Structure 1
Amino acid sequence: MSVLSTPMVVLLLVLAAGMGLLLYFLFRRRIQRLEVDAQGMAEQVDRSQKQLRENEERFQTLVDRSPDALFIHREGHIVFHNPAAASLLGYERADELRGRKLVEFIQPTEEDVLTHPGDEQGVQEVHWTHREGRVVLSEVVTFTLVFEGQPARVSIVRDITERKHLREKLQTADRMAAIGSLAAGVAHEINNPLSFMLSNVRFVRDEVQALVDEADDRTRERLKEIQEALEETATGGDRVSEIVRDLRTFARGDDGKRGPVNVHSVLDLCGNIARSQLRHRAQLVKSYGEVPSIMASESRLGQLFLNLIINAAQAIPEGADAKMHEVRLTTWKQGEDQVVVEVKDTGVGIPPENLHRLFDPFFTTKPAGVGTGLGLSICRGIVVGLGGRITVESEPGRGTSFRVFLPVGDTSASSSG
């Protein structure tokens, strides 16, 4: 085995060093470029991770603050939900819903709308059961996605209970308006035949009176019975005529045109129309003061006061002793430019927690089918439109008092009780 001499070793080392320097200079730029690329990739990864975290935070905020409920469920079990979903069903903590079956909260016949594996069917109506037992109607859109690495379904739920409730009440209000128009038309048609019927009754009555004066005693007694019957018929006919006139006055479309209005005449008219509501519940008491006429729309005032009088009547329980209850209409002048009309009842009163909501559209404490919740809202609109204001005071068990403050306006006419 030969041994390299020292000079040879030195020569080889010099050659190796030279080759190393040569390779360094040859690959230095590439290495630097690789270092720069590696640093850029690391920065890009950092940016991507930061952007991913920001997107996740934005998505979480969107989910948490969404007013629509969101359920993610797999095989009929809830695996995720947002706060709105818990609120929809009356729950607060996430662990109260997670893992539970959807069928616990919806009608069994509607379960397929959320869990059917087929194609999405668009917006569907689903009835949910609130924790308190009431039914919540909703619109639901359901679709599939991958959640935590496994297939799942997402249901986005919008509560439409109140919206449907409002729609039904608007439809009821429309029907009531249509009935009002029909009543006005019928009243107009009744008025003509009623007029000549009353005219004939009065003619016959007068003729019978002439015969009474000429007849013998026996015939006179019989004619008096006929005369009494005719008097009763004429009285009934006059009452029907008053009802027809009141209906026509109340339903007359005046487009809000204003003129001098006698407040007491309008109150009398409304009292006549509401007589059937009042008769078996309370006595109508009028306590009119000396008040001037006001510049207003007669039909709008009629709508205002009729609503208040009927509300007052309905606040008194049906079947109560009418002699023990009253609806009192009081008027007085306040200052130089205001007329005050008070409608006060001795009914059941209004709970304090409901007083601030009385004039809200569609708010009502009456049973379903009795009221639309629009009456007092309309009343306030009429009063405000006339430049006035309306107040309410009530005490449970002792009745309610509505006061309407109306400006006199530019008129010098006056009315008295």
Structure 2
Amino acid sequence: MTITNGVGAPAVLAATPAAQQGPEHVEQPVAYDAIVLAGFGGPEGQDDVIPFLRNVTRGRGIPDERLEEVAHHYRHFGGVSPINQQNRDLKAALEAELASRGIDLPVIWGNRNWQPYLAEALEEAHARGFRTLLGLATSAYSSFSSCRQYREDFAMALEQTGLTGELRIDKVRQFFDHPGFVTPFVEGLREALAGLAERGIAEGGIRVLFATHSIPTDDALRSGDRRVDYGPGGAYAAQHLAVGEAVMRELGSAVPWQLVYQSRSGPPTQPWLEPDVNDVIAGLADEGVTAVVIVPLGFVSDHMEVLWDLDTEAVETAEQHGLIAVRTPTPGTHPAYVAGLVDLVLERVHGTATAERPALTEYGPWFDVCRPGCCENVRAGFKPAIAGVAP
């Protein structure tokens, strides 16, 4: 289906009039009716684990036997992912922050991969009389899985519910370098370094490891604005590196640091972003390092990739090599993070001028309307997606 903007050019799918023409930043006020908080979703019991993993890997033909290899992470925690409760807590925190500012914008929660699904959220919004929605995805960086897939799933939910043409949906920009997202990492790292200093560990014996989810190298290269050369890891890696620099700059710390990756999957023959956090930790003992501070820079809350891949596997690797390991908090419901998300909503409500939008790296403020070809999945190809210019 092709939608035009009235002058013959394709319009941004399901967008409000202010965003239909596809500007990089929307500087017109929009009267939104509600916010749709879009989460990843997770199982809430042992019987949910395999069905949930089927949802996550749908279209890839992965048999249940292989899914069970991943399922043990969830089964270790009783089959319950913490992510749904974290999003319930975030929803409540957002509602409280909105109320404290006198902003009447209901928050409706929906997930990509588990109940409540995005389609359910859109049906609820429609039933309550809301027609102009602002999507807020719980992911800060640019890549297929952290941005475009949310936009595609919004479009799929519109199609599933028959609400295409009934609802207008824009999306909050990627917020990797917004002060509200960065501040919790600065505070957590400051506290961790101070704690190590109290234990008599000199800065020279410490390494800061900024950790994020690995993604296929091909996906990384296609992340962000296709007109820009971000380097070998695309916008995804460039954004993380820039935020790591911003955190260290805010701290004024000279402790050595690097970006590491975790949670890779897929066939061994497929290149993914490296180095792996466990490989890096294993090599640090030979460099005279005595302590590592793991900062989960790519994550907004303590979900399974944090609790298992970092708190369990990475910490065990450090212990096996005689290193002290400290993992700093994710933003979760930190007041600065929650307030920052509301500020991002208000950017779109008020049509805030681009020059007045806060950003702590050279890459921000990121686009309100994603650019053509942004974050293509080379295996699946392009699908309809909201809040972006068509490929």
If the length of structure 1 is used for normalisation, what is the TM-score?
0.20
Structure exhibiting the larger radius of gyration computed from Cα positions: 1
Higher strand fraction (1 or 2): 1
User: Which is bigger in relative contact order (C-alpha 8 A, separation at least 6)?
Assistant: 2
TM-score by length of 2: 0.21
